[in-house]
Structure 1
Amino acid sequence: MKQFLDEHFLLSTATSRKLYHDYAKEMPVIDYHCHLPPAQIAADTRFENITQAWLYGDHYKWRAMRTNGVHESYCTGERSDWEKFEKWAATVPYTLRNPLYHWTHLELQRYFGVTEILNASSAAAIYATCNDLLRTPDYTTRNLLRRMKVALVCTTDDPADTLEYHQQLKQEGFEIPILPAFRPDQAMNVDDPVKYNAYLGKLEQAANTSISTFQDLLAALKSRHDFFAGIGCSVSDHGIEEIYADDYTDAEINTVFLKVRGGKQLTLPEIRQIKSALLVQLAIWDWEKGWVQQYHLGALRNNNSRMMRQLGPDTGWDSIGDFSQARALAKFLDRLDSQDQLAKTILYNLNPSDNELLATMIGNFNDGSIAGKVQFGSAWWFLDQKDGMIRQINALSNMGLLSRFVGMLTDSRSFLSYPRHEYFRRIVCELFGQEIENGELPNDLAWVGKVVQDICFYNAQQYFGWQQAK
């Protein structure tokens, strides 16, 4: 019987182990999509305790705790940090076969050297051990990044953001580039006129302009797009249910915008039209600047209206959606490609039934101009676990070129999430190693090892043009 989480965790063959330990393990990390708060990096924050570093904002853990019968006050509420940690520790034994069980213990081992299983009995001792370390200078946010060999971080930022912390880090010369990503979701969320107009007020202030017409909106967004580029941004990102590719005319869009700007509720066709128009224009700007554009598709968000009213978004009430993706996605990409305005593009899906759909869709627009120009992105959110990663890797392998894949990202708000890259790398090495030992792939470790290192690091470095990431 193997020991839990030993050095050969997830690596069942000698070849898998050699690939991981000799080729993958020491590779730097490019985290090209995450939700880390740049303010905490700029301040080089030192967390008071592991609850602050580990549980604040982590809706994965909150969902598990709620399912285990833990009251909301221990998740997002007023309970003390120790009480929240204690409830999480008591929940962990019930997460067997959930990825949280692996992630929790990987993070305890890799950051704190804690090999004991977390449960109600061990909670107090582990809490004390982790807190003692977190209070030392070696455990500031910047040193947590260094500890995990992070070579570059790309955060997720609204067009109205000042990017002051990114500028501060750049001026200080922090050796790990912390770059913004342009995430214009709120500029597209016309579904609620009250919230949308409140957001446009923030955008007006950021762009130092008034927004009365659709052309004004485009001018404001273009101003912010340019500003982001000036700070070093070369990536955009969209978190949308589906690609919008409805037909529209300029006159129709102008009328629709005036309607929502006047506080009136739009019809569903009008909502789809204006989102379609915005997606196209934003994509053209990305192409003009040579950016990489990312589309996270398929999340059905904020399903629990009662808890949405109480806690707001991103608190753990989202699920996989069953949106129809193929036809609109093909239409959108083809519109850009037919005008030779299709930027490098990464497509992520949340519904595993769409794996082969996206894996074949990318081949329609990989035109040979750039290796892996259109990418099937890594297993995302609910699929960011062993089975989900394997299914995404297999779909990409069967329909495209895994060897050109830009690899893993954290998509996390926690500085303790970087063992997810290790988890992914072990799975990649296991798949290659098994097939070599089965005689399905040649026993050419030099070449396969190079492919593994490319997937871990070099493909992303080249694809995004981030040669400064080392």
Structure 2
Amino acid sequence: MKKAPFIHDDFLLHTDAARDLYHNFAKNEPIYDYHCHIPQRLILENHQFEDIAEIWLGGDHYKWRAMRANGVDERFITGAASPREKFAAWCATVPHTLRNPLYHWSHLELARYFGITELINSESADRIWDAANERLAGLRVHDILAANKVAVVCTTDDPACSLEAHAEINRSAAIKTRVYPTFRPDNALIVDRPVAFNAWCEKLGGAAGIPVNSFDDFLTALDRRHAAFHEVGGRLSDHGMEAAFAAPCTPAEAAAIFKNARAGRAATLEECAKFSAYLMLEFGRWDARRGWAKQLHLGALRNNNRRLLAALGPDTGFDSIGDLPQASALSRYLDSLDATGELPRTVIYNLNPAENYVFGAMIGNFQDGSIPGKIQLGSGWWFLDQKEAMEWQINALSNLGLLSRFVGMLTDSRSFLSYPRHEYFRRTLCGLLGADMARGELPDDRELVGGMVRNICFANARDYFRLELEPSYAA
């Protein structure tokens, strides 16, 4: 008897209700990818990938971490080895990732993009390489987006960077997917690193068309760039921080810290916290004024390995979960904006699972009845975007808020092969709800529960983020 493939139609769906919810309510919904790190230039160029190593391994620090843990030399990860050698090293690693989400994701990606259902290992590597590359030869970026029904892609963009690629994509009729920038001004806060800060200020001034000599110039340049993002359709901001900033800071204090940094004096820890808090309030006000949604990514402890950071640079796999206190500063930040009627729609992502209930309770403090789910507990991200942690996030939100208003999953990825993560999330969501229904903890009402599933998969994000969609996705 022929053995059934590992990835099959009912993967992760262990009850009749779960199977019904997934196949009839979740599976065919479009994808609203409101946060990712894919390069918009590749979308503009409708990039053709050279081979599966480029699309599967390039920039994927999840896989790189696993390979290092498996004893693979850096030459075969980010080094000078050939694409074929790097691919072989990854295939040899995959059998050692059992119970890591990479095992699920990798097999889902091969199945969905290339129709390959055999297990990944050294023995199958040659067959997978040949079959995948044959299929990839006829698969460009626009084909990938269309095949996955990706309605929206929101990239992550520095305010000092050009938006011309986004403008060109917006003018193109060659793609149904709408592509928008997300305003990510993390570099505006690095007054503790004056060399990098000053270089960035020069770049910011060039993008904004004004010299950045004073603090007022600095704010004007940032606001101009915020407006430029709005002009090309952007309606989201994003901030990556260990914790929220809420230290009191006057305009004069912020200006003095800026002046010192421009003169080459690094801000102290206290000064950096004050300056960052001042700017974060400004950014929140701009978001509210222009009707944007804000995203706060909190809890990452970045660049832990100084030796390998120096050798390989950031975003190469040396970040982890932080354990900083979160509640007090986050409360003060949200409250400061709410007090003046300038709190925008806000999605708060938590990277430390110990804080799920802290964040889940916090969002309820600032729901104001203006729109459903104004303050969101963001999806499980980074180290928490696998089945178990997705369930933790869903359970915390269900117990402390309204799961029915959740804006659902995102890719948070640099890879065009990551869209099966939405399938993975949808199967996990349906599996969890289906089990509740089988136990009698939810009514066996497929339209009631299925309607919620359908909304979480797409409609809630569509209605929350308010981005312009291609007509077939806008209904």
SS of structure 2 residue aligned to 1:394: helix
The whole-number CA distance in structure 2 between the counterparts of 1:182 and 1:61 is 27
Q: Write the deviation string for residues 65-95 of structure 1: whole angstroms up to 9, x where unpaired.
A: 0110001111111110000000000000000
Within the alignment, does 1:32 sit opposite 2:24 as a pair?
A: no
Q: CA deviation at 1:431?
A: 1.2
SS of structure 2 residue aligned to 1:314: coil
Structure 2 counterpart of 1:147: 147
SS of structure 2 residue aligned to 1:82: helix
The whole-number CA distance in structure 1 between the counterparts of 2:88 and 2:198 is 42
Structure 1 counterpart of 2:233: 232
Matched AA of 2:81: R
SS of structure 1 residue aligned to 2:342: coil
How many aligned positions are there? Answer: 468
Within the alignment, does 1:17 sit opposite 2:22 as a pair?
A: no
Q: CA deviation at 1:466?
A: 2.9
Structure 2 counterpart of 1:63: 65
The whole-number CA distance in structure 2 between the counterparts of 1:3 and 1:222 is 53
The whole-number CA distance in structure 1 between the counterparts of 2:190 and 2:69 is 31
Q: Write the deviation string for residues 258-289 of structure 1: whole angstroms up to 9, x where unpaired.
A: 11110111111101000001100011000000
TM-score using structure 1 length: 0.98
CA contact (8 A) 2:437 2:444 kept: yes
Q: CA deviation at 1:3?
A: 5.5
Q: CA deviation at 1:208?
A: 1.4
Q: CA deviation at 1:119?
A: 0.4
TM-score using structure 2 length: 0.97
Within the alignment, does 1:101 sit opposite 2:110 as a pair?
A: no
Structure 1 counterpart of 2:286: 285
The whole-number CA distance in structure 2 between the counterparts of 1:191 and 1:443 is 56
Structure 1 counterpart of 2:171: 171
The whole-number CA distance in structure 2 between the counterparts of 1:393 and 1:463 is 18
Q: CA deviation at 1:454?
A: 0.3
The whole-number CA distance in structure 1 between the counterparts of 2:428 and 2:261 is 48
Residue identity (%): 53
Structure 1 counterpart of 2:401: 400
Structure 2 counterpart of 1:360: 361
CA contact (8 A) 2:178 2:468 kept: no
Matched AA of 1:160: A
Matched AA of 1:427: T
1:249–1:466: structure 2 CA closer, same or farther, 3 Å change rule?
Answer: closer
Name which of structure 1's ranges 447-456 and 162-171 shifts more when overlaid on structure 2. Answer: 162-171
Structure 2 counterpart of 1:422: 423
Structure 1 counterpart of 2:276: 275
Structure 1 counterpart of 2:44: 42
The whole-number CA distance in structure 2 between the counterparts of 1:162 and 1:290 is 22
SS of structure 1 residue aligned to 2:183: coil
Q: Write the deviation string for residues 117-168 of structure 1: whole angstroms up to 9, x where unpaired.
A: 11011101101111111111xx101111111111111110110111111111
Pairwise CA RMSD? 1.0
Matched AA of 1:424: F
Q: Which runs of structure 2 are paired with 1:367-386 in the superposition (5 Å)?
A: 367-386=368-387
Q: Which runs of 5+ in 2 are unaligned?
A: none
Q: CA deviation at 1:214?
A: 1.4
The whole-number CA distance in structure 2 between the counterparts of 1:147 and 1:230 is 29
Q: Which runs of structure 2 are paired with 1:238-387 in the superposition (5 Å)?
A: 238-387=239-388
Q: Write the deviation string for residues 173-214 of structure 1: whole angstroms up to 9, x where unpaired.
A: 232101110010111122211111111111111111111221
CA contact (8 A) 2:237 2:294 kept: yes
1:175–1:3: structure 2 CA closer, same or farther, 3 Å change rule?
Answer: closer
Structure 2 counterpart of 1:76: 78
The whole-number CA distance in structure 2 between the counterparts of 1:392 and 1:378 is 7
Name which of structure 1's ranges 249-258 and 59-68 shifts more when overlaid on structure 2. Answer: 249-258
The whole-number CA distance in structure 1 between the counterparts of 2:50 and 2:66 is 24
SS of structure 2 residue aligned to 1:239: strand
Structure 2 counterpart of 1:52: 54
Matched AA of 1:170: N
The whole-number CA distance in structure 2 between the counterparts of 1:108 and 1:453 is 26
The whole-number CA distance in structure 2 between the counterparts of 1:446 and 1:459 is 17
The whole-number CA distance in structure 2 between the counterparts of 1:330 and 1:303 is 28
Q: Write the deviation string for residues 412-470 of structure 1: whole angstroms up to 9, x where unpaired.
A: 00000000000000111111111111111111111111100000000000001135251
Name which of structure 1's ranges 163-172 and 417-426 shifts more when overlaid on structure 2. Answer: 163-172
The whole-number CA distance in structure 2 between the counterparts of 1:212 and 1:358 is 39
SS of structure 2 residue aligned to 1:52: helix
Q: Which runs of 5+ in 1 are unaligned?
A: none
CA contact (8 A) 2:5 2:118 kept: no
Matched AA of 2:124: S
